[in-house]
Structure formats: structure tokens, C-alpha cells
Amino acid sequence: MSLYDRAREGMSRLEELVSNLPVIREYRSKELRRDADYRLRQNIADSLKAQRRRLTSMQRDMVSAGRLRELPEVERAVGRLQLLIDRIRTASYGYAPFYDAQEIREEELDRLIAFDEAITRQIPVIEERIDALADALHDADTFATAVSDLLEALDELRSQYDRREEAISYLGAEGSPSSTDEAEETDR
């Protein structure tokens, strides 16, 4: 069940009744979409934050063990992860033109859902890569590969998030009245 559906289920009977009035229904639907987007991004950021804490714990262990030479590589991963967390957590609360569009086609929603699923599927990959890094802490031969694999997974997650933002911007611009007006003026 999607976050949007769960948000709808959480409405009281009175809210549901009022939500069926045409103008209210339109407004409520937009608000539920924004809320679902916000919740999803917060859940993703929270999951990634837990993984960042694991990495910082590994850094402390490395310092204690005197493995300062490899520390910058892990610091790069922590930095990339933190930038991604901040970007996801502080993104605007739903992209207004997209959520305000009068009509959003099912295929567009399906594309966004596919982006969200891809991002969500990448989190266990990050966890696995951090597990592999933890295992490689005591084996210098596999350590470099484990760090490289983690950085690659973080880059892939960042790319997926970039593509999601591009899709939302595109869909928002496509459905906004100003883009329609601009297109009509160009045709004249």
C-alpha cells in the first residue's frame, strides 16, 4: 500500500465526507501527495542516517586501531552519504507545480513510483556495502575494494535521486499553466 493510500485511510469519517466535495477533494488530494512525498523522503533519509552512524563508528574503530592511512577513504563515503541525506531531507516539501497540476496522468505517477522504488531498493545495497566494509576493516587487500564499492553505490543512489528530481521538474513544468501559455505564445 502506498503512502498516499495510507494517508487517505488515516482520515476520519468527517474528513472523508468533506474531502469528497469537488474543490476540497482537489485540495486534499494535493496535500496527501505532498505528505506522502515528504514521508517517503524522511524515511529514506532516516535509513541513510543510520548507515552514516555505522560508518562514523567504523571511523572511531579505525582511529583506535591506528589505521589512519585508510581513514580518508571512509571519510569520503561519510561525506557523500551526509550530502545525500541532507539533500533528500531538505528538499522542498513537494514540488509545487507537479502537485498543483490539475490532472496528472497515471503513467506519470507510475514513473515517479518507479523512481521511488529504485531509490528504496538502493538502501539495502548501501547496507550490504557497509557490511562488506566492516568485514574488510581487518583485511587490507579487500578494504580498498569495499570502499570503492560503497562509493559506487552512493553515486548510483545520488544519480537515481537526480533522475527523480528531473522527472518531477519535467512533469511539473509540463502540467503548469505558465508552460502551456509559453507554448501557445511560441506557436503564434
Boundaries of every domain in the chain? 3-178
Let me know: does 157 contact 84? Beta carbons within 8 Å: yes
Q: DSSP letter at 102?
A: S
- Residue at 108: amino acid letter: E
Per-residue pLDDT of the chain (188 residues; tens, 9 = 90+): 555 555 556 555 545 544 554 544 555 566 676 777 778 888 889 999 999 999 999 999 999 988 888 899 999 999 999 999 998 888 755 444 454 544 555 566 667 767 777 888 899 999 999 999 999 988 878 999 999 999 999 999 999 888 877 777 766 565 544 433 433 443 44
Q: DSSP per residue over 84-142, as a string?
A: HHHHHHTS-SS-HHHHH-S---HHHHHHHHHHHHHHHHHHHHHHHHHHHHHHHTT-HHH
Query: What is the spatial distance between Cα 165 and Cα 119, in angstroms, rounded to a whole number?
Result: 12
> What pLDDT does 108 receive?
66
CA neighbours within 13 Å on the CB side: how many for 103? 1
The one-letter amino acid at 76: R
Instruction: Say if pTM beats, i.e. exceeds, 0.85.
Output: no
pLDDT value at residue 178: 40
The dihedrals phi and psi of 136, each to the nearest 5 degrees, come to: -85, -5
